[in-house]
Structure 1
Amino acid sequence: MTRRTRTRNEGPVLVVHPSSDLYGADRMLLESVRQLVDAHGDVVVAVPGPGPLVPLLLAAGARVEQVFSLVLEKRHLEPRNWPALVRDTVAGLRPALRTMRRLQPRAVYVSTEVLPVWPLLSRWAGAHVVVHVHEAELEMPAPIRLGLALPVLPAHRVLVNSECTLACLVEAVPRLAGRSTVVLNGVAGPADPRPARAHLDGQLRIVYVGRLSERKGVHLVVEALRLLEERGVNAVLDLVGDVVPGKEWYEQRLRRAIETAGVSHRVRFRGFHADVWPWLEAADVVVIPPVVTEAFGNTAVEAVLAARPVVVADHTGLREAVGDYSCVAGADTMATDAAAQLADAFAAVAADWSRFRAAAAADAPVARRRHDPRVYGRQVADAVAPPSSGRFGGTVGAEVLRGPGALAEKERTA
């Protein structure tokens, strides 16, 4: 494939995403695609295979293709795994080359930093390249964070979902600061959420929504349930989500922990549900307990949008996402007494239920304005528009985007 200059109206927008699921980053990808279709019309989304995301992308008006891509994982950056990295890079390069040659896209939107082949290949092919970073691996060693961030360098524009993500990215590669902008996630919620029940008669209903994984700290909630039971607090937990394929061992471990803690009658595995709102509406409290860095916190925002009190890990991007709301009770899930802190937070919400309930009702409309999907989508579409194009409404402006890249962009477009 030969490099060449794009004309203004040539080729589709190509969107590359590493998943076909419907978790946090997948939902953000869907919102991005909806706005890109409205702005440009011809959008092709490359995903690795079938999944619940695909029919929603088609309903949004995008074309969907299944394209194998190398997904850069931390294990790839360990010297003993470099042969596997080379092998997987070659395997991912061929379908990427074929896709680029056939589509000749005018712009490429890579929805995560862990798709290293696409930014360099797209830049070499003459497309306008945008990478949207959703990851903040602050607990990783500096060489690994550098290895994860370097593939972002070919991008013309870099979008990040939080100040936490921005700090992690720029610390690893300072040169990315001038082209990086914070765009708050757009999260669609109910227009008129039903308030939480007025009185906690019977059991305190706790819900967890998300992946069942060790990183997400679900086992801590199980231990917190045991502690609540010892204190005489009657609580139940619904787990709405599933394990990552290939990591079924965690669910087995979780079930053993539940049995050992003696709370089998209090925990219900509900499986994955694309529509999370009925589960949030049925809950009294939503819990988000990860034990590692979180770049943002879509699930926490969804809980606020549903007008439900939130017990959340008080660190990194989660603090940034919901720290300003009054319906939130925090716990340091990275501490040695994390389960006890979670139990304390649940007990505090139950003991002061009227205040937390009223705060949740007041916080919901604030969250709707802050995370309006239409505003988010327009910011993404503006960033994806090549600087010479008016097709998306002009070049990216500092009035729309937040972050350290906004001032530099305003000066460039003045």
Structure 2
Amino acid sequence: MIKEDKQPILVSHPSPDLYGSDLQLLESVTALAGSGHPVHVVLPRTGPLQKLLVDRGASTEVIPFPVSRKSVLNPKALPGYIIETIVATARSVRLLRRVRPELIYANTITAPVWILAGWLTGTPTLCHVHEAEETGSRVLQMLLAAPLLLCRKVVVNSLASRKVIYESWPRIDDRIKLIYNGIPQHDTTTSGILFPKDEGIRIVLVGRLSPRKGTDVALEALANLVEQGLDVSIALCGDTYPGYEWFEDSLRRRATRDDLNGRVQFCGYIKNVRDYLEKADIVIVPSITEPFGNVAVEAQLASRPVVASNVQGLAEIIDNGRTGLLCPAGDHVKIAEAVFLLVKDPGWAAKIAQAGYDSAVQRFSVERYQESIVSTVEELIVARNGLYRLFDRLKGGRR
């Protein structure tokens, strides 16, 4: 239930699932609720995230609203999306007038309905951007980032995200604050031996089955390693986005060919990926674009050597050759080469895993993240309340 002594913070989030931005939301809610702020989370549908949010101290409500994707910005899909947005905005405005939040915390830019509703009702809005991706179209980037013009504050999860937003709308730059994600650190770290001689090399990839995550690139890298004589397998931990079933079908067909047959495990969605990370010899993150890259940090915290694409946030997480290895995005040959180098030098691989663990503990702690989120939100609330008090004094002076 919403506490009565304070106005709540209304959090909008476009997914009830348990992937990167969903799990990061749990840390934000924990921080805000733990600091005495009532938190009310609005989701577009029910899902596993809802119960976890309640466990972290939030109240939740399910109200359908559209989520913006690149796929809606085409002549066929755009009219329907606009109609959905108008209807959902009216519904959102009614909810804001009922709940009367002190602040809207829009977790991701993919649900601009709430940013628009905040602007229409005069409710200050903070948008936490998790998905600022570089695209080939400057116009498309500007359209996707345009709702941020209506926000009082914009939190980004990497310098790469900040760059994308700045290049789209430079006037927003003074409203942007960088807060790297906070990844939970478990009580113990993995001490298992890498590359046991009596077993094959175990690779793990955690993430949605999608072209953006480079899952197809990972399978070709695996095939390259098999061609070089390595006994190697890969576990794919994640399901596919609705509408991308064709991509999963293509992956499964590729996995049945002679060179990969029996070497690819489709695990589906995994609630506790740490179990898989700890069983891995190497974790790969072959994303084509990645504003941050929680999985890379999670692998470092599990003391596993990481091979990742040299893109966006991944390049900020990994110091190439010291805390992991970076390869050109989409280059399965280079990814295979990096894996091969680690396998042939287990001592070096262990040093990289240890350096990655030390870096992740220092740079991406949950405590640092939560403190930064609370201070940013409270600064915005104080500024908002100060403006209201000034407005009240001005009104009183005119009486």
Q: TM-score, normalised by structure 1?
A: 0.87
Q: Distance in 2 between matches of 1:71 and 1:341?
A: 35
- Find the residue that maps to 2:184 and give its secondary structure: coil
Match of 1:194 in 2: 190
The 3 A distance-change label for structure 1 pair 115 and 140 is farther
Of residues 335, 345, 349, the one that matches 2:342 is 349
The question of whether the paired residues in 2 share the 8 Å contact of 1:28 and 1:185 is answered with yes
Equivalences for residues 318-333 of structure 1 within 5 A = 318-323=314-319, 326-333=322-329
The question of whether the paired residues in 2 share the 8 Å contact of 1:226 and 1:261 is answered with no
Deviation at 1:311, TM superposition (A): 1.0
The 3 A distance-change label for structure 1 pair 158 and 388 is closer
1:191 partner amino acid: D
Deviation at 1:80, TM superposition (A): 4.3
Deviation at 1:390, TM superposition (A): 9.9
Indicate yes or no: 2:208 matched with 1:215.
no
Higher relative contact order (CA 8 A, sep 6+): 1
Of residues 273, 276, 286, the one that matches 1:276 is 273
Q: TM-score, normalised by structure 2?
A: 0.91
Deviation at 1:68, TM superposition (A): 1.5
Match of 1:310 in 2: 306
Deviation at 1:360, TM superposition (A): 1.0
- Find the residue that maps to 1:153 and give its secondary structure: helix
The question of whether the paired residues in 2 share the 8 Å contact of 1:159 and 1:181 is answered with yes
Equivalences for residues 27-66 of structure 1 within 5 A = 27-66=23-62
The question of whether the paired residues in 1 share the 8 Å contact of 2:93 and 2:120 is answered with no
Q: Distance in 2 between matches of 1:304 and 1:288?
A: 12
Deviation at 1:223, TM superposition (A): 1.4
- Find the residue that maps to 2:382 and give its secondary structure: coil
Q: Distance in 2 between matches of 1:390 and 1:246?
A: 43
Of residues 72, 78, 86, the one that matches 1:76 is 72
Q: Distance in 1 between matches of 2:155 and 2:302?
A: 27
Unaligned runs of 5+ in 1: 1-8, 395-414
Q: Distance in 1 between matches of 2:268 and 2:69?
A: 26
The question of whether the paired residues in 2 share the 8 Å contact of 1:110 and 1:132 is answered with yes
Q: Distance in 2 between matches of 1:215 and 1:390?
A: 39
Q: Distance in 1 between matches of 2:253 and 2:194?
A: 35
Aligned residues: 381
Match of 2:154 in 1: 158
- Find the residue that maps to 1:265 and give its secondary structure: coil
Greater shift after overlay, 154-163 or 192-201?
192-201
Match of 1:370 in 2: 363
The 3 A distance-change label for structure 1 pair 198 and 308 is closer
Q: Distance in 1 between matches of 2:250 and 2:202?
A: 23
The 3 A distance-change label for structure 1 pair 44 and 308 is same
Which contiguous aligned blocks of 4+ residues in structure 1 show a shift greater than 6 angstroms? none
The question of whether the paired residues in 1 share the 8 Å contact of 2:149 and 2:172 is answered with yes
Indicate yes or no: 2:234 matched with 1:241.
no
Q: Deviations over 1:7-46 (max 9, x none)?
A: xx75211000000111111111111011010123311001
Deviation at 1:171, TM superposition (A): 0.5
- Find the residue that maps to 1:253 and give its secondary structure: helix
The 3 A distance-change label for structure 1 pair 213 and 199 is closer
Q: Deviations over 1:41-85 (max 9, x none)?
A: 311001111212111101001001112122112233334433123
Q: Distance in 1 between matches of 2:53 and 2:284?
A: 29
